[in-house]
Structure 1
């Protein structure tokens, strides 16, 4: 992530918006009281919100420095692993819920995104929910990502991609700047 992007993702205003508006919208029908896996917590803004929902939380972060920061922030309240969401270090059917927030566009290719979707499906228990959020393409979004990895997910094509990964009952909800999704194994 570039410097501006890092500053925004660590800011109090970003946390306030995520906790007060975005995460309640995304997770309105997502069970968060069981074994929950968060893929790509970044600086831990979303992780902080998830820790208050009562589940047993595990987080996987590809960036070792960010993983260390999340680990230091939450101690034993969150099992933080350094790893790739497209190659999760967990056995099949380990989690009730898998979530990812504002990170899919940082996955370097659609093929890697599809591997992440398949891994999320693999580690979910039958009936488990995979849910998340990402941004929609806009000039502002593109400018924010100058020098960053930016592989935008088309919300219109997402249902087919999630079904191909082994998920069902796919729902996608769009807003002007973002979209959220929910699917079931």
Structure 2
């Protein structure tokens, strides 16, 4: 068993707390300052966010905490039968990659600076705050 997010945050803090600040929080309502970061990353976790609406709040939060010119980048898995089987009993709200560019734009990201691409069994994205 992997443990909870709080357990993971504690382990990260014990290991890296001397050089980084580890924050355990809801990504749809982050306790972080507006425009306080140059980069936000999101790796293979969007499908664990329980609703499309919550995923969109997460995208809006990424936008909120980025400084102008800041980049939001990440990836997530493409849906497949095998992928669905691995998530039986787990939250699994897959993100259609063809919707990602528009969802990032709706969150406020620069229309000219949004890119989405496929790579094997996943897709990746990058967006810039104007």
Same fold (TM over 0.5): yes
Residues of 1 paired with 2:62 and 2:30: CA distance?
8
Alignment partners' CA distance in 2, 1:77 and 1:134:
28
Q: Distance between the aligned counterparts of 1:150 and 1:72, measured in 2?
A: 30
Paired residue total: 127
Deviating 4+ runs (over 3 angstroms): none
Matched, 1:180 2:124: yes
Kindly indicate whether residue 62 of structure 2 is the aligned counterpart of residue 95 of structure 1.
Answer: no
Q: How many Å apart are 1:90 and its aligned residue?
A: 1.0
Unaligned runs of 5+ residues in structure 2 are none
Task: Please state how far the C-alpha of 1:76 moved relative to its aligned partner.
Answer: 1.7
* Equivalent in the alignment of 2:105: 163
Paired residues for 1:52-91 under 5 Å: 63-91=5-33
* Deviations 1:59-107, CA, capped at 9 Å, x for gaps: xxx8211211221221222210110111011111100000010111111
Larger relative contact order (Cα-Cα within 8 Å, sequence gap ≥ 6) = 2
SS in 2 for 1:87: coil
Q: Tell me how far apart the structure 2 counterparts of residues 76 and 154 of structure 1 sit (CA, whole Å).
A: 38
The runs of 5 or more residues in structure 1 that have no matched partner are 7-42, 44-61
In structure 2, the partner of 1:130 is 72
RMSD: 1.5
Paired position in structure 2 for 1:148: 90
What are the residue-to-residue correspondences of 1:109-124 with 2, within 5 Å? 109-124=51-66
Structure 2 distance, partners of 1:179, 1:90, is: 27
